[in-house]
Chain A
Amino acid sequence: AAGVIQSPRHLIKEKRETATLKCYPIPRHDTVYWYQQGPGQDPQFLISFYEKMQSDKGSIPDRFSAQQFSDYHSELNMSSLELGDSALYFCASSSRHSGANVLTFGAGSRLTVL
């Protein structure tokens, strides 16, 4: 079965640079979530989208923005990168029609800021 696809899997950036992470949800899933997991930390909710509209917002820095496109894929844009942004970024998707509360996670994108 198709899973949640994230790209790139690994990304290395310098401080103050910009990074973009992409997420392709499971087909027919209408909701996308972004999480940030720092080293040795639990995943922290950043933001979510339902039917291309922002549905909830968590601890996402102002330097970050995200959107969901017409084909339901989502992108997380991170600007003015800081060392503390180094983390594993997870995307998850779900379907409100078949169980809104069951999230399927992607393998994650590991961002390293030097």
Chain B
Amino acid sequence: AQSVTQLDSQVPVFEEAPVELRCNYSSSVSVYLFWYVQYPNQGLQLLLKYLSGSTLVESINGFEAEFNKSQTSFHLRKPSVHISDTAEYFCAVSEASQGGKLIFGQGTELSVKP
């Protein structure tokens, strides 16, 4: 069975500072990895995904994540955050051979302050 651990429950940061949200996973089989973002009182939006190929994946709003198989990590980074990035971020994993069921981490609350 897979599991996901997000190492930080809350990350406060000042605007324009860099940020890293950490995610580690555990699985005995090949996995796909995802980051979802949840803005207050809203649903889950896919931020970026790793399915195969390049281990560095990027989103359209400046976030990137790198799949590190040896360290079983998929940390999310952004070099300069904005107030609008304030949200809950969930790392998720699914088994590559299965039909898409996602296992989520506990979430990291990113709070960007002016």
Contact = CB atoms under 8 A, between A and B. Distances in A.
Interface of A: 31, 33, 41-45, 48, 50, 55-56, 58, 90, 92, 94, 96, 99-108
A10 to B, nearest CB: 11
Given A33-B100, A48-B99, A101 B44 contact: no
B108 to A, nearest CB: 10
Contact of B100 (A43, A58, A90, A101): A101
Contact of A50 (B32, B49, B51, B99): B99
Interface of B: 32, 36, 42-46, 49, 51, 90, 94, 96, 98-107
B44 A55 contact: no
A45 B44 contact: no
Contacts of A33: 100-102
Nearest to A56: B101
Contact of B43 (A56, A94, A108): A108
A101 B43 contact: no
Given A43-B104, A106-B43, 19 more contacts: A31-B100, A33-B101, A41-B106, A42-B104, A42-B105, A43-B102, A45-B102, A45-B103, A90-B43, A90-B44, A94-B100, A96-B99, A96-B100, A100-B99, A102-B49, A103-B100, A103-B102, A104-B46, A107-B42
